[in-house]
Amino acid sequence: MRFVKQLALMAMAALAAIATTACEDPGSGQEGKNPNLNHDLTLTVDVDNITATSAKIKVTHNGKTADSWYGLLTTDITTRIDEIVEATVNELKAGDIGPQLTFSKSYVKILTPLTPNTEYRYIAFGLSEEGEIYGEYASLEFTTLAGGNTSGGNTPGKDEVYEGMNVNPAWSIAFTGPGTIDGESFNNIVTVNSTDNNPYTIVTVYSREYDVAKLRDLGVQIIDSFVSYLDAYNSAYGTELVLNDMLYRGNGQTAFDDLDPGYYVAIALGITAEGEVSGLYAVSPTFEIEEEVPTSLYMSWLGDWTITGDNKISNDVVIGRNFANRSVNLVGLMGLPFSIVGEYSSERNDIVFSAQMVYPNYAFEDGSVANICLLGLDKEGKHYGLNNGEYGIAIAGVLEGGQRAIVRYGVNQPDYPKFVAMFLTAEVNGTYYTIGEAHKNIPAFNVMAEINPLATESAQVAAPMSYKVARKALPTPKLRLGEKIEVVNF
């Protein structure tokens, strides 16, 4: 995820909440230690943005990125730190230590959910994959705010709101490329350097779409999405997170590894803990996300195929490249000339097809204008609309024997619709219609629909050369609206 922070807590409250202690080097004066470890490693821990349910921890050290360390949070503030460390390492040795270590000289993490009005201690210490403690460790204690002030965070009173949109000179935002956040590596990181405590979130948009006049509306959309997300998250996990927990204050970093190739700008957009667009912003220089080199597995999906449902209906389709190793275009479903986007997974070597807007404002033969949509049909005959946005319908994958096939998405998810087909439809002012007679040409996957190479004469000829025969361009079919379809919400 990546979220925004707010104005600082009163200085007196912050001082009262934070107490830092440094401990002696547990490895100093001890012989026989691993000479490959940096026994001069010194860690420091800082905390800010303390709320009733969260706090931002920053850990730094004087070593190299290769120096591994471990951090732990505890409410035990009376036991000696070396005893806590020793007990923790003994527990870690029962499993694989390596994946739990952090390799970062500057580490920032939002600790959440925390309990209001509670004393915490955060300890960081050098630790090898073999479980050997080294260097000087650091410990810090802080107290979360009392309940009832969670939305204000550590800010006394309301955050300031400005008229219009104003560049905040205290913010500097830039695309910094590959790096590490919270010990995890990412390819596309955006970094904000801030010299004030105004709260903000970080967002990216295509550079061609950037418009200062649209920033306030964008902020409103983001606030609405944050509120909806927090409602669902708190309901699912029994937490009490608030908007302030989603915001950055001071320096911030987040990753955007899910961006499609293209040119973007990143924006630090001011949002207050009270849910208002503050009017402050900063914009990065334009940066490019380059398309990856396609893998052989991804390329193996591209070409001409026949999809045959278990209802014996077949469609000849073309799967083409959208963004290498990320998505494909499928043309020919139901014999129609519309391009459907499928999300490709390199890890699983499969393609997920979700409900989506396929072609906005398509003009039919009779002059009707409609949005072409891909929807799902379940085994009870229910059609699911786009009222609640995209939802997974089908997944194309490779079976153990090598056969490619389509099956329903979310097959093992309780209460998830049991889809048996994906189909194209036309939406006009909230009402859905079939597209001519094409609805009679939908492959079904009650069990599965097979995907086989399209049988062509050229594909069956053995030859010493590799070549591709160009398919003759067919005239675009004349399309018309068909019958009305009743849909239900997902």
Render pLDDT for 246-288 as a digit per residue (tens, 0 to 9). Answer: 999 999 999 998 888 889 999 999 999 999 999 999 999 999 9
Domain-embedded: residue 159: no
Question: 401 φ, ψ to 5°?
Answer: -80, 0
pLDDT at residue 109, rounded to an integer: 75
pLDDT at residue 14, rounded to an integer: 30
Domain-embedded: residue 429: yes
Domain-embedded: residue 3: no
pLDDT at residue 89, rounded to an integer: 94
CB neighbour list of residue 39: distance below 8 Å, 6 or more residues apart:
25, 27, 28, 33, 134, 135
Same domain, 418 and 403: yes
pLDDT > 80? residue 388:
no
pLDDT > 50? residue 21:
no
Query: Predicted confidence band at 155 (pLDDT cuts at 50, 70, 90)?
Result: very low
pLDDT > 60? residue 339:
yes
pLDDT at residue 477, rounded to an integer: 59
Same domain, 399 and 303: yes
The residue with greater pLDDT, 208 or 455, is 208
Same domain, 267 and 322: no
Mean pLDDT for the chain overall = 83
Q: Is the pTM of this model over 0.75?
A: no
Same domain, 98 and 199: no
Same domain, 302 and 285: no
- Residue 232's alpha-carbon distances to 75, 244, 310, 355, in angstroms, are 28, 16, 38, 22
**What is the three-class DSSP state of 212?**
helix
Domain-embedded: residue 178: yes
Domain-embedded: residue 157: no
Same domain, 362 and 310: yes
Contact 21, 139 (CB under 8 A): yes
Which of 247, 290, 287, 245 minimizes the C-alpha distance to 268?
Answer: 247
Per residue in 421-448, pLDDT (tens digit) is 999 999 999 899 999 889 899 999 999 9
* DSSP 8-state secondary structure symbol assigned to residue 438: G
pLDDT > 50? residue 23:
no
Distance of alpha carbon 319 from alpha carbon 312, whole angstroms: 21
Amino acid at 378: D
Which of 299, 339, 294, 295 minimizes the C-alpha distance to 317?
Answer: 339
Distance of alpha carbon 324 from alpha carbon 318, whole angstroms: 16
Instruction: Give all strands (DSSP E) within 369-418, no chain letters.
Output: 369-378, 383-384, 392-398, 404-408
Other residues' Cβ atoms within 10 Å of the Cβ of residue 481: 17
Same domain, 265 and 304: no
Query: Predicted confidence band at 27 (pLDDT cuts at 50, 70, 90)?
Result: very low
Question: Domain count of the chain?
Answer: 3
**What is the three-class DSSP state of 384?**
strand
pLDDT at residue 19, rounded to an integer: 32
Structure tokens of 439? 């609805």
pLDDT at residue 147, rounded to an integer: 57
**Cβ burial 74-113 (10 Å sphere, 16+ → b, else e):** eeeeeeebeebbeebbeebeeeebeeebbebbebbbbbeb
Query: Predicted confidence band at 33 (pLDDT cuts at 50, 70, 90)?
Result: low
Distance of alpha carbon 341 from alpha carbon 353, whole angstroms: 7
Same domain, 343 and 471: yes
Q: Is 198 exposed, middle or buried (0-12, 13-18, 19+ CB in 10 A)?
A: buried
Q: Chain-centre distance of CA 138, in angstroms?
A: 32
Query: Predicted confidence band at 411 (pLDDT cuts at 50, 70, 90)?
Result: confident
Domain-embedded: residue 161: no
Same domain, 305 and 247: no
Same domain, 323 and 470: yes
Give 455-461 contacts, CB < 8 A, sequence gap 24+.
455/306, 456/304
Sign of torsion over alpha carbons 478, 481, 487, 490: positive
* DSSP 8-state secondary structure symbol assigned to residue 294: P
List the CATH number of the domain containing 108: 2.60.40.10
Same domain, 275 and 304: no
Domain-embedded: residue 152: no
pLDDT at residue 7, rounded to an integer: 25
Which of 161, 117, 153 minimizes the C-alpha distance to 244?
Answer: 153
pLDDT at residue 473, rounded to an integer: 46
Domain of 269 in residue numbering reads as: 166-289
Structural element, H or E, at residue 223: helix 215-237
Question: 92 φ, ψ to 5°?
Answer: -65, -35
Which of 229, 248, 230, 249 minimizes the C-alpha distance to 240?
Answer: 230
Tally of helices (H runs) and strands (E runs) in the chain: 4, 30
Low-confidence winner among 249-263, 396-410, 452-466 (lowest mean pLDDT)? 452-466
Same domain, 284 and 309: no
Which of 46, 2, 51 minimizes the C-alpha distance to 21?
Answer: 46
